[in-house]
Amino acid sequence: MGILSNIFHKIFPGSHPAAQQQTAQPSVQSAQGMQQSAPQGQQYAAPQGQAAPQQPAAQPAAQPQTMQQVDVEAMLDEKAKSAGQPLNWRTSIVDLLKLLDLDSSLQSRKELANELNYAGDMNDSAKMNVWLHRQVMNKIAANGGKVPSDLKD
């Protein structure tokens, strides 16, 4: 699980699409009861004399899910009140990560920068941190978070 996913899990409720991870991979049950992955578009051939396993019925196309909007500002402000230390989540990626009880180390922020395709100099942590904060706020907003307009593009 990536750092952005960890952020989403801390901000969005578990039932929210942004907090859910799609890990299901299609597999086919063999005649012996073992799981075998079948490449997409290929059928499993049962050994001679054994019946091929039934393929599941095609699922109807998923209906678009109405995204529940989360008031990120209110939630983070509430967390900040009980943080035990002043944390300025509105401008600092380090403070945002600390507020969410996530690793705020430089290494962790570099991993997040890689995850978000940061093209700048990772040795210039000040510029990287500003960029990271903006990108995280944009991603939160794009996934159903109500984020103050001055914190996103």
For residues 145 and 36, give the distance between their C-alpha atoms in angstroms, rounded to a whole number.
Answer: 39
| Phi then psi dihedrals of residue 91, to 5 deg | -125, -15
Average pLDDT over residues 123-131: 97
Q: Facing residues of 146 across strands?
A: 71
Residue ranges covered by each domain of the chain: 69-151
Cβ distance 121 to 47 under 8 Å?
Answer: no
pLDDT tens by residue, 5-60:
999 999 987 765 666 653 333 333 434 444 444 444 444 454 555 554 455 455 54
Q: What is the pLDDT of residue 69?
A: 85
Q: What is the mean pLDDT of the chain?
A: 78
Look at the pTM and tell me if it is higher than 0.75: no
